[in-house]
Amino acid sequence: MSFTYRYARPALTVDAVVFGLDDEDLKVLLIERAGEPFRGAWALPGGFVNVDEDIETAARRELEEETGLRLADLYLEQLYTFGTPGRDPREHVVSCAWYALVNIRDHTVQAATDAAAAAWWPLKDLPTLAFDHARILEVARERLRGKVRYRPIGFALLPERFTLSQLQHLYETLLERPVDKRNFRKKMLALGFVVDTGDTETDVPRRPARLYRFDEARYRELEREGFEMWV
Amino acid sequence: MSFTYRYARPALTVDAVVFGLDDEDLKVLLIERAGEPFRGAWALPGGFVNVDEDIETAARRELEEETGLRLADLYLEQLYTFGTPGRDPREHVVSCAWYALVNIRDHTVQAATDAAAAAWWPLKDLPTLAFDHARILEVARERLRGKVRYRPIGFALLPERFTLSQLQHLYETLLERPVDKRNFRKKMLALGFVVDTGDTETDVPRRPARLYRFDEARYRELEREGFEMWV
DNA sequence: GCCACTTAGTGTACGCATAACACTAAGCAT
DNA sequence: ATGCTTAGTGTTATGCGTACACTAAGTGGC
């Protein structure tokens, strides 16, 4: 079967930049390409958009197909569309890139269709990426760094219950600068949507910290009232 | 001549939301469609991306072809890519939308290819738009409202030399709220990139105001030094 | 020439948010 | 019991945003 059009069409793909956090570092989910071009190179998960398929759906589908990662209700946002001729050696391919935030420990990844491997790579120590994926990743990092300051998106990277130290460490990682401990705690709690669960950590070889959670309903309420956060 | 592919491909288009300011209102550039579908309806200028054509180039080309507007060195930025099936009644069409800012008095527009007419419409009083263009326009307005607060993009809507009252009126229009005159002037001048030309208005039936200009080189310098504006 | 009209242009005081800064508390391991 | 490690806490100074009302300068009409 084949499809014929009166004018030539660029191909349309989606690519996903999935950021994840484990105990130490901020990481990104990459696949090792099983086919040409760039066979054996690491790349962002992604692939062709089907006809009559929504582009966001395509991003989720490719992610699940290639890495086993299901993002049914997690943070996924459109990043930018890259359409410079030459970015794919085969032909003119336009790619709509997305970025997602997940807590690594809540998900397991495994290579599937079109991927020889799927793995989390620390941002500090990345392999050479296929296509223009290094550029896409760079744009995603800039966007994340900018957006985390005025939207509470960072919580998607943490487990449901977290300590204020974990939260502070997250912000320091994303903003790439140190943050004052007392001022940070004061401000976060003053925002009103980071709430104490009443529980504390267990099995830690030190004084256990209180556990907090992100109250999304409360955040939406504040947002409706016109409040603005700024970290 | 025709083109055949192994898998069906969505079509790829670009659409442009061009904002313009005249003496009174914020306006948007629309074309009246000359062909089906939606013949006779008003729509955003746009059209199909050619193979091996950069998507930004395609946006500029379509704009010039349909409205005569040349945007060689003016503010044009990618907005969002819309790819929900059904947004075009013919087939699955994915559209990469862009937005631009121009000073209406510096440009003339005239209908050309595929357009029966091209005209500036005030945002307050828009016709029903073709396709999902009302939605695209809404997203563009949100983006503009958000971005103008931390980037000096509004100057692209003004003539090269402008009064502080014009600038204030612009911000009030974009932000959709009133602004205190003394505080606004104090802050704008303190930013350091709005500079006095030394001249004043002529031919106005009242006290003439000083004329200022946006010093882009100075802005870039401040940006490099890590300063942040916030209006 | 004078008066009325219109928009330009200017300064201060108060309150709040940010930023800087160091010690005690609690639990675990040895 | 002691030492180690991270949790947790308050005050002060400064800068920034906000609120607010009158005088200045030019034009046009009478």
What are the pLDDT digits (tens) for B143-160? 999 999 999 999 999 999
Containing B170, the helix (H) or strand (E) segment is: helix B164-175
- Kindly give, in sequence order, each residue whose CB lies less than 8 Å from that of residue A102, ignoring residues fewer than 6 positions away: A18, A19, A20, A69, A71, A74, A75, A156, A157
B104/A82 Cα distance (integer angstroms) = 30
What was the pLDDT predicted at A23? Answer: 78
pLDDT tens digits for range B90-100: 999 999 999 99
What is the rounded CA–CA span in Å between residue B79 and residue B15? 10
Q: What is the pLDDT of residue B140?
A: 98
pLDDT at residue B73, as a whole number? 72
* Mean predicted confidence (pLDDT) in A144-149: 95
Higher pLDDT, A71 or B17: B17
Q: Residue A101: its pLDDT value, please?
A: 96
Check CB contact of A190 with chain B, cutoff 8 Å.
Answer: no
- Burial class (CB within 10 angstroms; exposed 0-12, middle 13-18, buried 19+) of A18: buried
Q: For A85, which DSSP code? A: T
CB-based contact B110:B118 (threshold 8 Å): yes
The pLDDT confidence band at residue A228, using thresholds 50, 70 and 90, is confident
Q: Is the pLDDT of residue A196 over 80?
A: yes
Report A:46-65 residues touching B (Cβ under 8 A): 48-56
- Return the closest-CA partner of residue B28 out of B152, B166, B164, B157: B157
Contact B44, B30 (CB under 8 A): yes
pLDDT of residue B228: 86
- B8-52 residue pLDDT tens: 999 999 999 999 998 778 999 999 999 999 999 999 999 999 999
Q: How confident is the model at residue A181 (pLDDT cuts 50, 70, 90)?
A: very high
DSSP string, A138-178: HHHHHHHHHHTTTS--GGGGS-SEE-HHHHHHHHHHHHTS-
**Coil, strand or helix: which one is B20?**
strand
Collapse the DSSP code of A16 into the 3-class scheme (helix H, G, I; strand E, B; otherwise coil) and give the result.
strand
Q: By the CB < 8 Å criterion, does A80 face chain B?
A: yes
Instruction: Measure CB to CB from residue B8 to each of A51, A56, A94 and give the nearest one.
Output: A51
Q: Which amino acid is at A25?
A: D
Q: Using an 8 Å Cβ cutoff, are A56 and A73 in contact? A: no
B8/A54 CB distance under 8 A: no
Task: Write down the pLDDT at residue B124.
Answer: 93
Residue B57's pLDDT is 97
Return the ∠ at Cα A158 (arms to A154 and A164), rounded to 5°. 85
Which structure tokens are listed for B41? 């309806």
Q: Does B9 touch chain A (CB under 8 A)?
A: yes
For residue A37, whether the previous peptide bond is cis, meaning omega lies within 30 degrees of 0, is yes
pLDDT at B72: 77
Tokens of A183: 């001022």
For the cut 90, the answer to whether the pLDDT of residue B200 exceeds it is yes
Return the percentage of chain B with pLDDT > 90, whole number: 85
Please tell me the predicted confidence (pLDDT) of residue A63.
94
Residues B174-184 have a mean pLDDT of: 96
- Please name the residue that has the structure tokens 């790439």: A176
Q: What is the pLDDT of residue A226?
A: 86
What's the confidence (pLDDT) of residue B11?
A: 98
In the predicted model, what is the mean pLDDT of residues A96-121? 91
Overall size of chain B counted in residues: 231
CA distance A40 to A42: 7
- For residue B130, the model assigns a pLDDT of 98
Q: What whole-number percentage of chain A has pLDDT above 90?
A: 85
**The pLDDT value given to residue B113:** 81
What is the pLDDT, as a whole number, of residue B203?
87
Mean of pLDDT values over A169-186? 96
For residue A114, the model assigns a pLDDT of: 82
Query: Which nucleotide is closest to A207, CA to C1'?
Result: C27
Residues of B in contact with A93 (CB under 8 A): none
Distance CA B209, CA A116 (A): 68
Flag whether pLDDT at A124 surpasses 90: yes
Omega before residue B37 within 30° of 0, cis: yes
- B1 or A92: which carries more pLDDT confidence? A92
Q: What is the mean pLDDT of residues B197-217?
A: 94
User: Is residue A164 a contact partner of residue A181, using CB atoms and an 8 Å limit?
Assistant: no
Whose CA is nearest the C1' atom of nucleotide D4? A206
Chain A residue with CA closest to B80: the answer is A80
- Average of per-residue pLDDT values in chain B: 94
